[in-house]
Amino acid sequence: MAPVTRSLSPIGFGAFKIGRNQGTKYQRPYDLPDDPTVEALLNGVLDLGINYIDTAPAYGLSEERIGLAISHRRSEFILSTKVGESFDDGVSSYDFSERAVRQSVERSLRRLRTDVLDTVFIHAGRDDLRIVRHTDAAPTLMSLRDAGLIRAIGLSGYTVEGFRAAMSWADALMLEYHSDDTTLEPIVAEAASRSLTVVVKKGLASGRLPPVDAIAFILKNPGVASLVVGSLSLHHMRENLRIARQVPGRERPR
């Protein structure tokens, strides 16, 4: 994944909130923004110098809105999405079969209006070890990577065992890590020793931790490439990036 991640901004934009407001883990409810607001937000994020955007089919309208708003600026950002979970009519469904994974990637390419996906993660839950070992998701993503539709592949999961099982084929890992939960800190170190890219999700504990402390804690770990933060406020994203750039070694995109 080195050609993709060498220039990752320390803060990435998590695109959940632009596409979905049902069944969330955020403390406060929110309304979905309209299309002009999303367009202004996403273009503003890129203008700030944030060059990493993360989405997923499970994020409702997110992929389509990214494609509509900023596909014309595709060369300016690194894009990751996921396979295995989808969200339709207010309900999540899960399918890690070869057919489902291939169809998911094809849909993502269309929705995002791009010819190639920079990174695709398996969108796993607490049963990530089972998904890695006993479904078609990983070998199918490897095949799609070989075919050139995906540049890098990985696991978005939760357990030490799941991530260790994925390290033999993954280019990147997306994991939860913050000051209130350092369970996966050994995985960050192990991944770094293997030259795998580590992206942190839920680093603010879904809004429960103050950004000024949480961002610094995460980005002081040299094994972390980027922290994905979801927000509907360009002001908050600007402030998050300012905090990140105060961490030694994070002044510029990596």
> Locate tokens 């596409």: which residue?
19
Kindly list the catalytic residues.
Answer: 59
On whether residue 142 sits in a domain, the answer given is yes
> Locate tokens 């094809």: which residue?
106
> Locate tokens 């202004």: which residue?
40
Q: How far apart are the first and last CA of the chain?
A: 13
On whether residue 203 sits in a domain, the answer given is yes
On whether residue 139 sits in a domain, the answer given is yes
On whether residue 6 sits in a domain, the answer given is no
Give residue 3's pLDDT: 41
Residue 171 sits in a domain of what CATH number? 3.20.20.100
Residue 1 has pLDDT above 60, yes or no: no
Question: Which tokens sit at 153?
Answer: 């592949």
Rounded Cα gap, residues 133 and 154, in angstroms: 14
Q: Specify which residues 176 forms β-bridges with.
A: 201
Residues 199-211 have pLDDT tens digits of 999 999 878 899 9
Comparing 20-24, 100-104, 238-242, which segment has the lowest mean pLDDT? Answer: 20-24
Give residue 22's pLDDT: 86
What percent of the chain is predicted at pLDDT more than 90? 88
Average pLDDT in the 178-199 region?
97
On whether residue 251 sits in a domain, the answer given is no
Phi, psi of 96, deg, nearest 5: -110, 20
On whether residue 250 sits in a domain, the answer given is no
Beta strands in the chain, from DSSP E residues, in sequence order: 11-14, 52-54, 78-83, 85-88, 91-94, 117-123, 150-156, 172-176, 197-201, 226-230
Average pLDDT in the 17-38 region?
88
Exposure string over 32-53, b if 16+ CB within 10 A, otherwise e: bbeeeebbebbbebbebebbbb
Rounded Cα gap, residues 8 and 139, in angstroms: 26
Average pLDDT across the chain, whole number: 94
On whether residue 190 sits in a domain, the answer given is yes
> How many domains would you assign to the chain?
1
Average pLDDT in the 9-22 region?
95
Residues 200-250 have pLDDT tens digits of 999 998 788 999 999 999 999 999 999 999 999 999 999 999 999 999 989
Residue-range definition of the domain harbouring residue 146: 11-245
Comparing C-alpha atoms, which of 76, 34, 21 is closest to residue 51?
76
Residues 138-178 have pLDDT tens digits of 999 999 999 999 999 999 999 999 999 999 999 999 999 99
pLDDT tier for residue 5 given thresholds of 50, 70 and 90: very low
Average pLDDT in the 94-122 region?
98
On whether residue 97 sits in a domain, the answer given is yes
Rounded Cα gap, residues 11 and 2, in angstroms: 18
pLDDT tier for residue 2 given thresholds of 50, 70 and 90: very low
Rounded Cα gap, residues 239 and 187, in angstroms: 28
